Amino acid sequence: MSTHEKFEAVLTGVIRRNPGEEEFHQAVREVLDSIRPALVRHPEYVEAKIIERICEPERQVIFRVPWEDDRGEVHVNRGFRVEYNSALGPYKGGLRFHPSVYLGIVKFLGFEQIFKNSLTGMPIGGGKGGADFDPKGRSDREVMRFCQSFMTELYRHIGEYTDVPAGDIGVGAREIGYLFGQYKRITNRYESGVLTGKGLAYGGAQVRREATGYGCVFFAEEMLRAAGDGLDGKRVVVSGSGNVAIYAIEKVQQFGGVVVACADSSGYVVDEKGIDVEVLKQVKEVQRGPIRDYAMARRHATFVPGRRVWEVPCEVALPCATQNEVSGADAATLVANGCITVVEGANMPTTPDGIRVFTEAGVRFAPGKAANAGGVATSALEMQQNASRDSWTFTYSEQRLQQIMQDIHARCFETAEEYGMPGNYMAGANINGFLRVAEAMLVQGLI
């Protein structure tokens, strides 16, 4: 059987064993398509069935989450934790609370997390979790009751040496606080390292909130520098207006770029003077309002309901919202309007058709598993501080983050060149991330 036939057989098996999980199938196909050259050089990984093993999670946990709203009505949601691969360290990955969450989403995110965490060079494995609960529009007390019920089941599966969750979409500082409090109450242990993204008052790390957005922009700057360019003076569009997007916008502007548009599920705003980050934070982090409220606060800004932010002309695009948000048509629009660089701040936000359009047009493209690794890298730094009962300054933590993102860029860039695909950051990220995990799996035996 040829290498191509073996890969197709693996993918066919993944689809057969995981029916209906389209995002997971997409993530596996993307990685398998990229790492073929590595397996030609390393037939020992083929012999040891590393591919088949890495596509199957080590453990999948699904549980019910009953809770009561403020009116006394009982609700039942479904919770998940996929502990995907621990070859490099304890499972590490966020929790997502969103109505779209189902097993296929969690598995796709966990699979991506394996390679993302490997790229950081830090001792963390890959995992992911969440629930089909929507915190939007819920009171603090309702969110607290849900988080307490969720952790009442999850606590038995996690620990600082086993599995260390963090936040993701719908899980911010508020939710992490409630989750940590319930874990502490149930276990009777102050185990700071069991969750990351905590508040600074009880073991959290400086820059953790900003890390994914900042890291994405550090990576974008390195990409542009490698091409003899930079963010200074660039016109930038960012999708989303949550945690990742807000701090990506902040860091772009610190590098001299101008972010002219951002979005949420209701539409997008255009601010030709540059998005005012403080106003955006007030709308999204304090008021928890829709993006149209930004345009009401900045009268010269325009709110465009129900349309896609990718129709706004830009030179640099940062997808920072959710998976598959950039279609082939969106990519074609971006290219036609002069976009030269796309850096993913979210997990797999570009569809295969979109990636194909960017590649054929010669657009520099950085996949999320490399460009948005700043969040999990800073979570690992938080784990270090918790383990040593230490705390670092904002400046020092940001310097560590920037160095990690520069190192990730170098790994992707150099690996792509080594395998004869210069400038192909997707291939560089997938191959480099895979090789470190594969070697660890090989030497640890058949487990």
Catalytic amino acids? 128
- Give Cα 225 distance to the centre of its chain: 23
Q: DSSP strand E in 188-240: where? A: 235-238
Contact 403, 222 (CB under 8 A): no
Pick from 220, 250, 261: which is nearest to 368 by CA? 220
Helix, strand or coil, per DSSP, at residue 183: helix
The two tokens of residue 58 are 């080590």
In angstroms, the first-to-last Cα distance of the chain is: 25
For tokens 């279609």, name the residue. 327
Give me the DSSP letters along 388-402: HT----HHHHHHHHH
For residue 270, the 8-state DSSP code is E
Pick from 130, 137, 411, 395: which is nearest to 287 by CA? 137
Rounded to an integer, what distance in angstroms lies between the CA atom of residue 438 and that of residue 56?
14
Rounded to an integer, what distance in angstroms lies between the CA atom of residue 203 and that of residue 221?
31
